Structure 1
């Protein structure tokens, strides 16, 4: 009987969000087992907030202490979603009956159990975590659960967070996050402000823009705020929250989330919020690899022309066309939300 499973995903926000289907499937398939994760310190509170995670171990860099923590948990299985030679060294001497690694690097052969993570064309990178879990469940003759349309149902908190962000009457909160998660250069504040202004003019709904930011991104947000305010457009700077978990919960208030390939964009998808992503134009198709977990009809993606010289130049995105598509998309989603409400 499987009593505890460890999932290793000790890297960035977006990567961890992409792994949420793993604890979801594990908890559905093994409701009485303890589903545990190994994460980066910055993700500790966020991981604790995941409704499918029972225990969190933080990668504090002290390998002896980490190994001791693993031993104390008495795992029946370990699923290595992020495979590194260091991870193998952490696990190799532990008495864990089943250790599963992806068929990715040469050190996959150091593991007895290996799973293919070759994602079918057209599906996002988030499928990799599912493929690992499905391999594990198949090896143990356990039925594979279906995936949900929403991974984090905080609908009961939506009105509270709408109040937090200052929503009034029929306003729709359109979140926008400047900056980038690293897969592409960011849209300039001037162009981002112009895009939001066009969306506001073209859409049929009553918009209030909420600018979110982290660290030095506050300067980008301030530039956008100043430009939109000067045009008389309703816009607010998001009030800082104490930790990532609270910020992640608060995104349930959003009626749409617009950003480059950033952690916040990926978090918004957990709530099945309509998303608009701006990605690099590469043949490796980042807009597919990093597509959000929202339903396919709730996401839009834009890229500059594919090419070594053009693919990272976000100024080459046709923002006039993007504004028209986003406004139409927003009108459609609003109608759907009204019908559901």
Structure 2
């Protein structure tokens, strides 16, 4: 009987968010087992808020102490989704009956159990984590559950957070996060401001724009705020919340989330919120690989022309097409 499983995913925020489908499969298939994760410090609060996680171990950098914690937890299985030689050294002495790692890098040969975790062309990268879990469940004769329509149901908190962001009457809250990170591209504050202005002017929906930011991103948000305020567009600066988990929860208030940063986009995807994402134009297709967890009909994604000279120039995006698509979505779903 499997009573305790450790899943190792100690990298960036967006990567951990895209691991939620795999965690859902584990918890749904093994409801009585303790599903535990090893994560980076920046992800701790979000991991603790995840409904599919029962215990969190944080990567402090002290590998010897962490290995001792692993031993004390007495795992029946370890699934290494973020594989490094360092991780192998931390878990090699565990008495766990089953240790599974992906088939990449030379140290895969040090594991007794390995599986293909390479998502196929045209698939999103979150499939990789699911492939490992599916292999684990199949090898143990456990049925693979169906994935849900939505990974984080916080509908009961929606009105609370809408009030927090100042929603009034029939206003629809359009969140904009102007920072950049991961495989998304960086739009200029002017591009965001012009896009917001045209959306507000053309849609039948009563919009209020909520500008979210963290740290140095405040300057970008302020520039957008100043430009929209001059045009009498309804806009607010969203004061950062005290923790990543609170921010992630608060996104349930959004009616649409527009960003050039994969982390916040992925958080919105957990709530199945309509997302508008901007990605670099690369042949590796980050627009597909890093797509959000929102339903396909709730994902609007754009890139500049693919190429070495054009792929990173976000000003080359066809903003007329973006405006047309966003307005059409808002009018069809909210007007």
For this structure pair, what is the TM-score category when the shorter chain's length is used for normalisation? over 0.9
Match of 2:194 in 1: 194
Cα distance in 1 between the residues matched to 2:333 and 2:295: 12
Q: How many correspondences in the alignment?
A: 335
Match of 1:327 in 2: 327
Q: How far apart are 1:120 and its partner, in Å?
A: 2.6
> What secondary structure is seen at the aligned counterpart in 2 of 1:224?
helix
- In the alignment, is residue 222 of structure 1 matched against residue 209 of structure 2? no
Match of 2:168 in 1: 168
Cα distance in 1 between the residues matched to 2:334 and 2:143: 37
- In the alignment, is residue 316 of structure 1 matched against residue 324 of structure 2? no
Unaligned ranges ≥5, structure 2 = none
Q: 1:26-41 counterparts in 2 under 5 A?
A: 26-41=26-41
Q: How far apart are 1:327 and its partner, in Å?
A: 1.1
Q: How far apart are 1:7 and its partner, in Å?
A: 0.7
Q: Is the 8 A contact 1:274 1:333 kept in 2?
A: no
User: In the TM superposition, what whole-angstrom CA distance separates every residue of 1:311-337 from its partner, at most 9, and x where no partner exists?
Assistant: 0110110112211111112222326xx
Q: Is the 8 A contact 1:261 1:290 kept in 2?
A: no
> What secondary structure is seen at the aligned counterpart in 1 of 2:251?
helix
Match of 2:159 in 1: 159
Match of 2:252 in 1: 252
> What secondary structure is seen at the aligned counterpart in 2 of 1:179?
strand
Q: How far apart are 1:121 and its partner, in Å?
A: 2.9
Cα distance in 2 between the residues matched to 1:145 and 1:261: 31
Cα distance in 2 between the residues matched to 1:63 and 1:150: 35
> What secondary structure is seen at the aligned counterpart in 2 of 1:123?
coil
Q: How far apart are 1:184 and its partner, in Å?
A: 4.2
> What secondary structure is seen at the aligned counterpart in 1 of 2:180?
coil
Cα distance in 1 between the residues matched to 2:333 and 2:12: 30
Match of 1:261 in 2: 261
Match of 1:339 in 2: none
Match of 1:149 in 2: 149
Cα distance in 2 between the residues matched to 1:118 and 1:177: 30
Cα distance in 2 between the residues matched to 1:212 and 1:104: 37
**Farther off after superposition, 255-264 or 11-20:** 255-264
Q: CA RMSD in A?
A: 1.0
Match of 1:53 in 2: 53
**Farther off after superposition, 110-119 or 266-275:** 110-119
Q: Is the 8 A contact 2:6 2:35 kept in 1?
A: yes
> What secondary structure is seen at the aligned counterpart in 2 of 1:93?
coil
TM-score, normalised on structure 2?
A: 0.98
Match of 2:18 in 1: 18
Match of 1:99 in 2: 99
User: In the TM superposition, what whole-angstrom CA distance separates every residue of 1:296-319 from its partner, at most 9, and x where no partner exists?
Assistant: 101010000000111011011011
User: In the TM superposition, what whole-angstrom CA distance separates every residue of 1:162-212 from its partner, at most 9, and x where no partner exists?
Assistant: 000000010000001001113244100111110111111121101000001
User: In the TM superposition, what whole-angstrom CA distance separates every residue of 1:28-85 from its partner, at most 9, and x where no partner exists?
Assistant: 0000000000001111111000011000000010101110111111101111111111
Match of 2:113 in 1: 113
Unaligned ranges ≥5, structure 1 = 336-341
Match of 1:277 in 2: 277
Cα distance in 1 between the residues matched to 2:243 and 2:133: 29
Cα distance in 2 between the residues matched to 1:260 and 1:43: 20
Cα distance in 2 between the residues matched to 1:47 and 1:194: 36
Question: Where do 4+ consecutive residues of structure 1 move more than 6 Å?
Answer: none
Cα distance in 2 between the residues matched to 1:12 and 1:34: 23
- In the alignment, is residue 133 of structure 1 matched against residue 133 of structure 2? yes
> What secondary structure is seen at the aligned counterpart in 1 of 2:175?
strand
Match of 2:84 in 1: 84
User: In the TM superposition, what whole-angstrom CA distance separates every residue of 1:83-103 from its partner, at most 9, and x where no partner exists?
Assistant: 111111111111111111111
Q: Is the 8 A contact 1:184 1:312 kept in 2?
A: no
Cα distance in 1 between the residues matched to 2:107 and 2:303: 35
User: In the TM superposition, what whole-angstrom CA distance separates every residue of 1:271-303 from its partner, at most 9, and x where no partner exists?
Assistant: 000101100100100010000111110101000
